[in-house]
Amino acid sequence: MAGREPSPPCCRGAGVVVMSRAGHGGDPIEEYLGQLRAGLRTGLRAGLWAGPREAELILAEAEDHLRETAAAGLAIGMTEREAQEAAISVFGPVRAVVAAHHARRGWLAAAGEAGLAAWKLASILLLASGATGLAIATINTIWPQVVLMPAPGVCWPCLPGPAFVPVPIGVSASLWLAWAAAAVGGAILLAGCGLTLRLRRRRGRGMLLGGMFPMAAAGFFSGSALALTTLSASAPGSRLASGLAAAYLALAAGYAIAMARTLLRQRHDQVGTFGRALGKG
């Protein structure tokens, strides 16, 4: 490609174009790429990029586009500097290019955060529901609920005799299977989510939802517990609704305690940092 020197073999990476400043004294495209690199590094420190490799890929694409546009300018009779300046003008100011990439990455990062949070919440909900359902099914098998059913062959109040007879309610095999499948599926999904979060931390990303996931989880499970409590109130005697409501309420309380501890730890760190700054002053 016109106006571009090949990189030495030791500087080439798989799929990444590594640009060298050697031999490009006063090269407008190299100066532009240097400013673009600095802007992308700022985004990397702010957590808007997955890593240095992604920033290098963006730089490589920008360089390819600029060199191709400059080559087209040379083909129509421009000088090398005029062609490069025209290519830069068409590509856009550094600030606008960096802002566009940051905005796109910001939306993608926000969508990814929301997706991970929903994944984790759904996994915990499924696991807790399945485990609670199995526990309630076990209780109903050992101590079955009894309901009064109309006695067959008795005309009440025409003839004396019991109008209703107690009938124990058992647990069907399909219900056992459904709760077991929910518990196992939730455990598998939660394990996959945990692995994804661990890989995410290894790449230098922060805590899920900026450390506010416990607050979101506490609100979600509190709302679920409230809905099930309302349902159990309209159908008294339902062990399942009451058990699920109790399980969700316990999860909400646990996440609320975790959030409170996180906030207290952050406050303690801030006070310590402020005290050290005052001591140095």
176 lies in a domain? no
- Of the residues 92, 111, 132, which one is the last residue of a structural domain? 92
Q: Tell me the C-alpha to C-alpha distance, in Å, between residue 246 and each of 14, 229, 234.
A: 54, 9, 16
- Of the residues 39, 61, 92, which one is the last residue of a structural domain? 92
* Residue 4 pLDDT exceeds 70: no
Chain centroid to CA 6: 40
97 lies in a domain? no
197 lies in a domain? no
Q: What percent of the chain has pLDDT over 90?
A: 22
- Residue-wise pLDDT for 232-243, tens only, equals 776 655 788 888
Number of Cα atoms under 13 Å in the Cβ half of residue 201: 10
- Residue-wise pLDDT for 105-135, tens only, equals 666 667 778 889 999 999 999 999 999 999 9
Residue 151's pLDDT band, with cuts at 50, 70 and 90, is low
- Residue-wise pLDDT for 27-52, tens only, equals 888 888 888 888 777 655 545 554 56
Mean pLDDT of 254-263: 88
65 lies in a domain? yes
194 lies in a domain? no
233 lies in a domain? yes
203 lies in a domain? no
Give the pLDDT confidence score for residue 187 in this predicted structure. 95
Residue 164 β-bridge partners: 150
13 lies in a domain? yes
- Of the residues 26, 59, 92, which one is the last residue of a structural domain? 92
Provide the number of structural domains found in the chain.
2
Domain housing 29: 9-92
Residue 149 β-bridge partners: 165
